[in-house]
Structure 1
Amino acid sequence: MLYYLFDLLQDSHIPGSRLMTYITFRSGAALLLSLFIALVFGRKIIDRLQLMQVGEIIRDLGLEGQMQKTGTPTMGGVIIIIAILIPCLLVGDLSNIYMILMLISTIWLGSLGFCDDYIKVAKHDKEGMKGKFKIIGQVGLGLIVGLTMYLSPDITQRQVTPVTYSENNVETVMASESQDVKSTQTTIPFVKDNNFDYAYLTQWLGDYAQVGGWILFILVVIVVVAATSNGANLTDGLDGLCAGTSAIICVALAIMAYLGGNVIYSTYLNIMYIPQSSELVVFMSAFIGALIGFLWYNAYPAQVFMGDTGSLTIGGIIAVFAILIHKELLIPILCAIFFVEDLSVMLQVAYFKYTRRKYGKGQRIFKMTPLHHHYQKPGNSGIEAIIQAPLRAIPESKIVTRFWIIGIFLAVITFVTLKIR
């Protein structure tokens, strides 16, 4: 709204009327607005949740300090969603297809997570919504995003070739641009030029190779959205873990979006240029502010939990954002914490079922999953597991801080992979 108001004032001589034309200004404004909303209105929402007795249902898993969290307000993801939407509506360009898709993704998964939390609270059912309905919702969003990227004429790529010339012993890099094109190219690490086209895998379709490439791309979109959303959901098990880890990931993605949406920087760094995608930086800035503001109340000891309203939304936003800037194949590195949490659960369940079927008694790989709970259990505590280390239980706050440090390391590695060829 403010974006369009300032747009009307551009022809006037009012000081500051052109500020909204700068991505950096609008991104900074979005971050500060979302942080303010999360901090100020977050407290009011938490108080309201307490009055409504919307408390977390805790199962006794024998973890230190776990039962003290009983009754802590949940569904705090509402704070994050509100703190994202209001700044984007105020300073975002609502005609931009990338901004539209991110807002749809936020509302879509926020609604899915809210329904899950509501079932848990209203029916006192810890399991909440059945898993198949969550998967249907995630697949639906993946289809919306993938098909929109295929059909929308506003979502394109531009092949920008850096041309270097020397004058007076000074080298200058200029950009030689081609037209905007629809393409299934994406960014991959460790490869020269860092580009991979899904259509390479469907060459056997002949004249329909490009269409086949888009079908394959849409399938990848669905998998990435579901895996990342569920990974964030599983990571939300300790105070501040999911919010802090996600904020680190989002800073890395915001930098990628800013560089990839600027023709000069993308040419100089020899990375994919995506026209109009710089608007995503405004959205991601609001998201980062919302996460940091929420972390104010979610840090140990947490005053509020995000619930599935927040965790499903966070994972979905990260996935869709990475897909829109064609960095979805970097997600396994950048979001490795999410996927390790996912993998730990899958391995634990699969191995337990296998050993029970073969030996008549199920065995475990980890003391407890998701993985962050494994470190809360002391070794030789009566749980038969292949991996008993660490022998001493690690305090919750230390586990969270160490996961944050690993998240920073992964973000740096993600950038480094783009230059290791």
Structure 2
Amino acid sequence: MIYNLLYPLSDQIGVFNVFRYITFRSIYAFLTALVIAIFVGPMIIRWLQKLKFGQYIQEDVAAHRSKAGTPTMGGILIMAGTLPATLLWADLTNSHIWLTLLVFVGFGAVGFWDDYLKVCRKMNKGLSAKVKFLAQVLVASLAMALLVGDPAYSTKLAVPFFKDILPNLFIFYIPFAVLVMVGSSNGVNLTDGLDGLAIVPTVVAAVVFGIFVYVAGNVKLAEYLQVPYVVGVGEAAVFCSALLGAGLGFLWYNAYPAQVFMGDVGSLALGGSLGFVSVLAKQELLLLVVGGLFVIETLSVIVQVGYFKMTGGKRIFRMAPLHHHFEMKGIPESKIIIRFWIISVLFALVALSTLKLR
């Protein structure tokens, strides 16, 4: 909004020319979202407490019993920082921004619906898995139909580390991209089981994809680093910066011991939007590296369930997702969280290295 209002005046007032730079606006989107999240955090937490929106606690983990009653649906706080910051600092004539916000809000709405059933209707399992999955697919499919409808957008798939391998998926690109978004959202959701565990890998991923969309949207950088160039996609870096700021603001209250949990309204919105940004940047497969921690957590659940069914009740892990396995082994929660954070940073550095290793 600020860009659309002030940049046109740069011919008369030279200082307004600074708004043309995505880097400048990304910095201020980050700061805006961070300040908003930290400022409104206590008000949102008190509101959630007043409504008795307490988190459903995993009874199998003794250490979690003290968390009973901690308000959930804190993803509202992340949205409260991300949305206004993005709308303030992004170019609102850019369709990529609106599609990203569509995915962010759409997946968040599915998560809100799920959380509402859990905490208000006392339905511990919330939405059925089928309804939840179909709702996510609907949002993702709508966004992809609108994105691919742009003739300038390519359905080719970039392969990390290989600059010349660009298979064209044609009509199969939409279901593939939908799978990326739904898988990403559920990966973040499964990881969100300890205080601050999911939000730090998410903001780390936001930094990485903020860099990738900026590069992909800059014709000179894209040519130099030999990544697919996508017209106008650099503007999504403003969203990534806003997400980073709001995420850190949320961490202020979600760090151990947490005052609030993000709930599905946060985890689905974060995962879905990161998946969509990876699609915008033409780095869909790289999401497996950037979100390596989410992949490990998801695989631990798949392996656990599959092995349990095949063996008639035996388990590989003491409990899944993987972070609960370590909890059951007696490792302190804070140590598990910090180690998982370190792992997420390592995955992010490997992902960034693909800019040169190709």
- TM-score, normalising length from structure 2? 0.96
- Map Cα deviations across residues 46-100 of structure 1 (whole Å, 9 max, x no partner): 1111111111121311332x11100001100001011111011111111111101
CA RMSD of aligned residues (A): 1.4
Match of 2:22 in 1: 23
Task: Within 5 Å, give how 1:2-401 maps onto structure 2.
Answer: 2-13=2-13, 16-64=15-63, 66-153=64-151, 156=152, 182-191=153-162, 193-198=163-168, 213-356=169-312, 362-378=313-329, 393-401=330-338
The structural deviation recorded for 1:7 is 3.0
* Deviation at residue 323 of structure 1 after TM alignment: 0.5
Q: 1:43 and 1:63, CA in 2 relative to 1: closer, same or farther beyond 3 A?
A: same
SS in 1 for 2:327: coil
DSSP-derived class of the 1:185 partner: coil
1: distance between equivalents of 2:103 and 2:125?
24
Show CA shifts across 1:155-181 (max 9, x none): x3xxxxxxxxxxxxxxxxxxxxxxxxx
CA deviations 1:280-314 (Å, max 9, x no partner) are 11111001001011000000000000000000111
Match of 2:342 among 393, 398, 405: 405
Find the aligned partners of 2:31 and 2:331 in 1 and give their Cα distance. 35
CA distance in 2 between counterparts of 1:262 and 1:86 reads: 25
Q: What is the distance in 2 between the residues matched to 1:227 and 1:34? A: 26
- Identity score, percent: 42
Equivalents in 1 of 2:17, 2:128: separation in Å?
50
TM-score after normalising by structure 1: 0.82
The equivalent residue for 2:351 is: 414
CA drift of 1:187 comes to 1.9
Q: The residue matched to 2:260 in structure 1 has which SS?
A: coil
More deviation in 46-55 or 231-240?
Answer: 46-55
| Structure that is richer in strand per residue | 1
Give the partner amino acid of 1:216. Answer: F
Segments of 5+ residues of structure 1 without an aligned counterpart are 157-181, 199-212, 357-361, 379-392
**Conserved? CA contact 1:77–1:309, under 8 Å:** yes
Q: Secondary structure at the match of 2:298?
A: helix
- Cα distance in 1 for partners of 2:62, 2:15 equals 55
Counterparts of 1:195 and 1:84, CA distance in 2: 35
User: CA offsets per residue over residues 248-301 of structure 1, 9 Å max, x none?
Assistant: 111111111111211222222222221111101111100100101100000000
CA contact (8 A) 2:31 2:245 kept: yes
Match for residue 384 of structure 1? none
- Ranges of 4+ aligned residues in structure 1 off by more than 3 Å: 417-421
How far the C-alpha of 1:418 sits from its partner, in A, is 4.6
- Whole-Å separation in 1 of the counterparts to 2:318 and 2:328: 7
Question: Which SS does the other structure have where 1:328 is aligned?
Answer: coil
Code of the residue aligned with 2:321 in structure 1: it is: P
The structure richer in helix per residue is: 2
Partner of 1:17, secondary structure, is: helix
Take 1:195 and 1:26, find their aligned partners in 2: how far apart are those partners?
A: 34
**Matched position secondary structure for 2:300:** helix
2: distance between equivalents of 1:355 and 1:271?
Answer: 46
Q: Is the 8 A contact 1:63 1:376 kept in 2?
A: no
Q: Higher Cα Rg: structure 1 or 2?
A: 1
**Which residue of the partner structure matches residue 175 of structure 1?**
none
The amino acid of 1:324's aligned partner reads: L
Post-superposition shift, 1:30?
0.4
Deviation at 1:366, TM superposition (A): 0.4
Aligned partners of 2:114 and 2:317: how far apart in 1? Answer: 28
Q: Residues of 1 paired with 2:272 and 2:215: CA distance?
A: 22
How far 1:412 sits from its partner (Å)?
1.1
Whole-Å separation in 2 of the counterparts to 1:195 and 1:277:
21
Specify which structure has the bigger relative contact order, considering alpha-carbon pairs within 8 angstroms and separated by 6 or more residues.
2
Structure 2: which 5+ residue stretches go unaligned?
Answer: none
Contact (CA 8 Å) 2:160, 2:283: kept in 1 or not? no
Change in Cα spacing, 1:420 to 1:3, as seen in structure 2 (3 Å) is closer
Letter in 2 for 1:50: Q
Shift of 1:221: 0.8
CA distance in 1: counterparts of 2:121 and 2:147, whole angstroms? 39
In 2, the alpha carbon distance for the partners of 1:62 and 1:2 equals 48
Once the two structures are TM-superposed, the CA of residue 337 in structure 1 deviates from its matched residue by 1.1
SS at match of 2:166: strand
